[in-house]
């Protein structure tokens, strides 16, 4: 049985937009590219044809993947949650005990994660470690550079 995929409404809309773009823009373009490459003659030595066919395979695979993710999506509205613990969708402010720095992350689905935007995946080591903790909790997280100790200073659901 397929498991559901948690995501925010924004993440769900982004997947839908990507799917529409692939179906309406990218798929017809690659079909046109294949037709043009085929017109150039011998397909056995036609790099344009091979490249277009490879691109078509990628597009069709991504369309299938997106359809599956959208079908299994469990859209969670963080604003509707009310908890004093870190759950999916929470914006968590952390104080790095070692460096005296503060950082805020939102816990999101795998496809939404973007560290530059302050969004980390619920399945990442940091995301998994934060889930279930409350304000003032100290959380030890194993990261590539070693073990980091964070104190949770704020949890918001927006």
Q: Which two tokens stand for residue 2?
A: 């397929």
Give yes or no for a contact between 107 and 94, defined as CB atoms under 8 angstroms apart. no
* Cβ-based neighbours of 94, under 8 Å, separated by 6 or more: 102, 103, 104, 105, 130, 139, 150, 151, 152, 153
Residue 1 has pLDDT above 50, yes or no: no
Q: Sorting pLDDT into bands at 50, 70 and 90, what band is 142?
A: confident
Instruction: Name the least confident of 33-37, 100-104, 148-152.
Output: 33-37
Domains of the chain by start residue, with CATH? 5-75 (1.10.287.180), 78-156 (3.10.50.30)
* Cβ-based neighbours of 63, under 8 Å, separated by 6 or more: 19, 22, 23, 27
Instruction: Measure the CA–CA gap between 87 and 21, rounded to whole angstroms.
Output: 32
Give yes or no for a contact between 130 and 78, defined as CB atoms under 8 angstroms apart. no
Q: Mind listing the pLDDT tens digit for each residue in 115-132?
A: 999 999 999 999 999 999
Q: Mind listing the pLDDT tens digit for each residue in 65-91?
A: 999 999 999 999 998 888 899 999 999
Query: 131 or 38, which is more confident?
Result: 131
Question: What is the pLDDT, as a whole number, of residue 42?
Answer: 66
């Amino acid at each position: 049985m397929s498991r559901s995929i948690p995501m925010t409404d924004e993440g769900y809309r982004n997947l839908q937009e990507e799917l529409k773009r692939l179906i309406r823009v990218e798929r017809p373009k690659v079909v046109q590219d294949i037709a043009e490459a085929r017109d150039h003659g011998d397909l056995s030595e036609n790099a344009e044809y091979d490249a277009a066919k490879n691109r078509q395979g990628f597009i069709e695979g991504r369309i299938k993947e997106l359809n599956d993710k959208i079908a299994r999506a469990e859209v969670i509205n963080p604003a509707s949650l009310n908890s004093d613990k870190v759950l999916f969708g929470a914006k968590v402010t952390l104080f790095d005990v070692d460096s005296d720095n503060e950082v805020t992350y939102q816990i999101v689905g795998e496809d939404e994660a973007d560290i530059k935007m302050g969004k980390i995946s619920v399945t990442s080591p940091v995301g998994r470690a934060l889930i279930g903790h409350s304000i003032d909790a100290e959380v030890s997280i194993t990261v590539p550079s070693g073990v980091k100790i964070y104190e949770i200073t704020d949890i918001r659901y927006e």
